[in-house]
Every structure is written in C-alpha cells, then in structure tokens.
Amino acid sequence: MLKITKFGGSSTANSEQFKKIKAIIESDEGRKFVCVSASGRRFKGDNKVTDLLCLVVAHRDYHVDYSALLDDIESRYLEIKNELGLTFPVEEKFDILRETIPTDSAAYIISRGEWLTAHLMAEYLGYEYLDAADAIIFHHDGTLNLEATNAAIREVVKKYDHFVMPGFYGGTTDGQIKLLDRGGGDITGSLMASALDADLYENWTDVSGFMSADPSIVENPQAIKKITFDEMQELSYMGASVLHEEAIFPVREKNIPIQIKNTNDPSAEGTIIREIWEPDPQDPLVTGIAGKKDFLSVYINKTKLANSVGFLRTVLSIFEKYGVSVEHIPTGIDSFSVVVNAHDVKDCIYSIVADIKRELEPDKIEINENLALISVVGRNMPQKIGTSGKLLGVVGNAKINVRMISQSSQERTIVIGVENKDFERCVQVIYEAFVNETSAE
C-alpha cells in the first residue's frame, strides 16, 4: 500500500519530533514519499519559523534590522542538525541568505523554512531531497498547473524510490517561487498523493483526528473515526479544521482517502476521510458539531413576497455590490433573512439597508445582531425521523432561544442560530443529547 505522508509544523518542531517521524516512516514500507512543513512551535508561546520569516520580510521592507530574527531561526535549525548528527551546511546556507535577502522575493524568503526542514529531514531519513519548486508547477498568472505538476512528480518517482519534499510552495516555469495559502503543505501532500495514485494520504499533526466538538467547549469530546468529505467540509467551514480545506480536492477526484494521525500518539486510530461510508449501525447519528459567533441577519418582510419576481435576486445583488458573502437565507411566505458575518458588514450594513429600502420598498426591515451559528452534521441524519424536532426540543428545554434554523436539501446538516451568549451552552446541550447519548447506547 502506497502512503503519502505529510507532517505539519508541530511534527517537525525539534529533534525529538524528527525522531518520532523516523520511527513512523520506518514502521511501514509503504511510506516512501514524505512532505514536511517548516518547523513549528516547540512549546506554548514559541514562534513558528514561517511566522519569523514573515517578520524578516516585513522588517526588510520597512528598513528595520532583522539580524536577530535570522539568528533565532538559524539557531533552531543548528540545534536540530547537531542533536541528530547531520551534515547539511546550515551555517553556510544562512550566510548566503543574509547576503541575498535584500533582493530576494518575499515568497522565496518565507519558503526557506520548509526548504531547510525538508533538507534536514531527507538526510535524517536517508531519502532523496526533491525541491517543491521543481515539482509543484504554477502558471505565469499564479494558478496551479496540475498537468505539469503531475508530470513532474511522476518523473521524479522514476529516479528516486524515496524522497522528501517541502510543502507550502512551488515554482513558476520561469523559476520564480510561488507560495500556496498558509497551511498549504496539506495541499502539497494531497497533490503528491493524486499524482502518484496513492492508496492513502496520511496527514500527521498534533491531534488524533477530528473531534466531534470543540475541546475548549466540550470536555474530552469523542474523536470522529469516520467522516465523509462533505461532512468534513461542513464542519471545517464552521471552524472545526485540522486540514486545509483545499487539500481535499486533488485526492477526492481520485477517490483516495485521507487519514488524520497524531505524530505524538501514532497508535491512535485517527480519522479516516473518504467520499462515501456505507451505513453502519454502530456509527453515530451526529458526526460532529461546530459553530462560530458574531453573525447578523437582515430580516426583510414584504406582503405577497412570493409573487414579487426578482425580489430576492435584487437583495442579493446589493450584498454582492458591497463584496459581502451571504451565509444563509432562511425564508418564510412573506419574509426572509439574509445571514452574514458581522465583520464583513461592519462598515457597510447601513448602506446595504438603505439600498434595499430605496430599491425594493419592503414593508419591514430589521437588523438582528449578536447571532451565533451552530452546524449539526451527520450523514445518518436523513435516515432518522424526527432529528430536527429532537434538536429543537433539547435546545428549547435548555431555555435557549433559537433565532433561526436552516437545513440542507440532503438533510445532512442542520444549522441553528442562537444568541452569542448562549453559544457554548448550546453546543454542550446538543453534544450531550446526540453524541454522548449515542455512545451510551
């Protein structure tokens, strides 16, 4: 079984973490191709190397001395090198970097964290080093060239039986470094898995998979053992993320499952993400619960709204004019609400309302603030009659006022809106009713 393994910054933070990675790689001969992120935080309050490199760029651009930052980064890599007895010329590479920083691109400087980590990891594992600039190929306009990327990775495999590649960046055809989004190492690993038609994409981090609720709200929430790509996207959108959302697309097209694993607890089962899971009586009704605070809704009422062709389209076009993304649109016979992130409209909400009044002359329009949205997600919910009713019942019994409810057409996601002040308690109530109760059965 061919497994592409990607290790995040927490997994490459220091020499002890390097040792854990080596033990993981050597425990399975299918782990031939490795992707790594720049070294992350070693302890609470520490800095990620990528954050420090971003500061170097900012200091350079504002003509502020950045030598202490570079010294700090160099000392971290020297510590890993010396403690593991490696030979990669860290000092020499930093001497060169100090000379070229004044003219280097920001992307080049910021990518050096992954570059250095991958070089050290390759030597430590006894693997070849593959520079991402030669394998993750971008068009001149900055978009990813998937065809060229797939071809480049497949060509390397003809030469090397094993390799380590840095995540987070690639290169254009004219030799310029191009960065992916922050957290883009997940995407790099996914592209590797897709290009090589891997059997599994392992994403190693510092948690044992997705949790069924936020651990800062629910004490010791259950781990999610099995989840579909659709469920993961729903939960990730509402903040429950341990994987970059864009990382699912390359592997999803090839039907390659993703497994989230914990570098610090490799024996833990983790979470398997795949397109479809066959129904299993042992699976919980609710896969996970996630949410965010600080939304607002614009409530609009107009008599005979159902007969007003184009009314909703016009309202949405006004939000679009101000560059505001709409989250949900709960509807009634003569009314509907437009739910948006409060931060997105903090400077334009009254202009939006004024435009709606002027163009559409609604009978009533109200702004409802301090709204929290909670998503209850589960692929088994459509088969269970009365799930929505039970959800509203348990929330109502807890004396929590539900200000909106929205359910997806596939009935796999129910979103409710409550007051910000009730957010944490509502998540706890739902968890106890749907997750704890199911596990007890």
Binding annotation for ATP? 6-9, 205-206
Tokens at 29, concatenated: 């001969």
Secondary structure (3-state) at 148? helix
335 burial (CB, 10 Å; 0-12 / 13-18 / 19+) is: middle
| 418: β partners | 372
Secondary structure (3-state) at 281? coil
Whether 37 contacts 185, CB under 8 Å: yes
Q: Which candidate, 33, 50, 54, places its Cα nearest to that of 41? A: 50
Q: Which candidate, 350, 333, 339, 329, places its Cα nearest to that of 296? A: 339
Amino acid at 420: N
Angle at 290 between CA 240 and CA 386, to 5 degrees: 140
How many angstroms separate the CA atoms of 315 and 297, rounded?
13
How many angstroms separate the CA atoms of 205 and 243, rounded?
9
Q: In what order do the strands lie in the sheet with 177-179?
A: 137-138, 169-172, 177-179
Supply the DSSP string of 168-186, one letter for each residue: SEEEETTS-EEE--TTTHH
Supply the DSSP string of 343-357, one letter for each residue: GGGTTTHHHHHHHHH
Q: What's CA 211's distance to the chain center, in Å?
A: 14
- Indicate the annotated binding residues for substrate: 50, 114
Tokens at 32, concatenated: 């031939």
- Indicate the annotated binding residues: 6-9, 50, 114, 205-206
Supply the DSSP string of 6-28, one letter for each residue: EE-GGGGSSHHHHHHHHHHHHT-
Characterize the bridge pairing of strands 288-301 and 258-262.
Answer: unpaired
Q: In sequence order, which residues have a C-beta less than 8 Å from that of residue 248 and are 6 or more positions away? A: 190, 229, 232, 233, 258, 273
Neighbours of 309 (CB within 10 A): 7
Secondary structure (3-state) at 261? strand
How many angstroms separate the CA atoms of 178 and 394, rounded?
50
